[in-house]
Amino acid sequence: MRNYAKFPAILLLQFILIQSYGQQFEWANSYTVDNSNEVAALAADIDGNSYIAGVFGASQFLPYTGNCYLLKTNHQGVVIWTKYFSGLVQIGDIVASGNQLLIVGQANGVFSYDGTTMGLPTYHMFLMKLDSSGALLWIRTDETRNGSGSNMVAGENGKVALNFKGVSNIGNYIEIVDSAGVVLQSKQITGNYAGIVDIAYFDDRVYLNGALNGPDSLVVDDIVIHRPDIENAAFILALNSDFIAEWAAVDTTINNRDGRILAGEDGVYAYFSALEPPFTIVNVLKKFAFNGQILIEAEIPFFSTGPTLYPDMAIIPGIVGLYVNNDFDFNNHEVILFDEYLNLIGEMEVQGPSDLYSGQIAGNNGGFLVSHVHSGDLNFNNEISLSYAGPGKRPYISRLSLSEPTGVFRVDSGKSEAFFYPNPADHFIHMILPGLNDGKAGLKIHDSSGKSVLESIVQSGESGVDVSHLSAGVYLITLQMPDHQIIRNKLLIK
């Protein structure tokens, strides 16, 4: 079984002292789109406004097809405008480019947007661009492409990267378009058993997360991706600025339909479900250098290793965020945050009736937005709540703010010292004891009445202690070091 890389404690210590984050849900709003099937896509523009889109009032058969909503809010989640599509429409993705918005989707014939009829009489892909008021700037249609399940990423100078399927989901097409929708570069990735599930675009390079589910190898330029001896392949494929395949990384999977990929200044991040011998499914997050070298990998701490958690993933400088279903009854979702070294730095729950599909996360002015549908009251990590008005499911957006510093604190007593984070704590408190070497320290936590509520043994290096069972309040944390020194500090549980 693979050993997931651990960052050395001393380097982790240096990092958390320089850059660590506190997380707090700032606001949450529900929107009057009754009987909403989904939030198919979420985006944020340069002014901090947010956009959501999806199908409403349709049957529960996938993919959701029918009338659609497109909603814009300001930086505090207050609605600015709502537009509607009429017809048999699917929303693939939306992305903000500056303060304008692009939408890719699929239509089963002619449809209307904001009261204006458009599209083709046949089954077709559409790509459209709107100004900041929601007015249509242009639309491009193509009956040889399938926009259902498409993905988009905004680049520099108004350029956008897209991936979509061919007719009947045969073939994969990658495009770069300019601000007017003109195709600048295009590449077809053939293979009846290959599928591209997500796309990243950074510094004029494209990175693809895909799956190979068949007996044949996949050949892209000079890169050959072989199917594993058992089950199927999850692969990461990089295209250089000339759209030539540059490198690939391959893992074994059962199904990579949930794969995600991001690229930014720090490197390339990819999520997928890997299959470990003898037959264990592990949800992993990997970081690659731009030349394809794998730098770090970490296991995602889901409640289950099952592959049906439908994650979404977003990036801001120094932090990767995931929003995942964390309950097969669809009543809990979770925000999971990693730093650029794939250290777990935060887990926050959103509790309440929701849905398995279509949870979304997006970067937003140094924080994150999360969005989904709900059919009951929601509790955001015991910080804020959101009431449900109905009928049916309604979409919501919430903003997660990140502040510095987070409560990484240093305590010393004589020759001994300890670093704790975060404080306030929620699910876990992490400790680094640089001088412990190979010894052990005794840990006790007392509540405000002096009652001992937790006792444990802390090993050398970095240790984590589960405090999720403790009620919100003020506690005293005590460490008894091997040299008999005592370290005490106040601990806040939120």
**Residue ranges of domains in the chain:** 23-192+300-403, 419-493
**Which portions of the chain are predicted below pLDDT 50?**
1-21, 304-308, 404-408
Residue-wise pLDDT for 16-43, tens only, equals 333 344 568 999 999 999 999 999 999 9
pLDDT of residue 20: 43
Question: How far apart are the C-alpha atoms of 161 and 176, rounded to whole Å?
Answer: 5
Residues 203 and 161 sit within 8 Å (Cβ to Cβ): no
pLDDT for residue 243: 97
CA dihedral 36, 42, 47, 48 (to 10 degrees): 80
Q: What is the pLDDT of residue 154?
A: 95
Nearest to 70, CA basis, from 163, 167, 135:
135
pLDDT for 1: 37
Which residues of 213-359 form beta strands (DSSP E)?
218-220, 223-225, 232-239, 245-253, 260-264, 267-276, 280-288, 294-299, 312-316, 319-325, 332-339, 344-351
Q: What is the spatial distance between Cα 65 and Cα 63, in angstroms, rounded to a whole number?
A: 6
Report d(CA 370, CA 95) in Å as an integer.
15
Amino acid residing at 398: S
Q: Do residues 251 and 237 lie in contact, with contact meaning Cβ atoms separated by under 8 Å?
A: no
Q: CA-CA distance, 111 to 457, in Å (whole number)? A: 64
At a CB cut-off of 8 Å and minimum separation 6, what does 360 contact?
A: 39, 41, 42, 52, 312, 323, 369, 370, 371, 372
CB 421 within 8 A of CB 21: no
pLDDT of residue 8: 39
Which CATH code fits 419-493? 2.60.40.3080
Is domain 23-192+300-403 in CATH 2.40.50, yes or no?
no
CA nearest neighbour of 487 among 421, 423, 417, 428: 417
Decide: 378 and 385 in contact? Cβ < 8 Å. yes
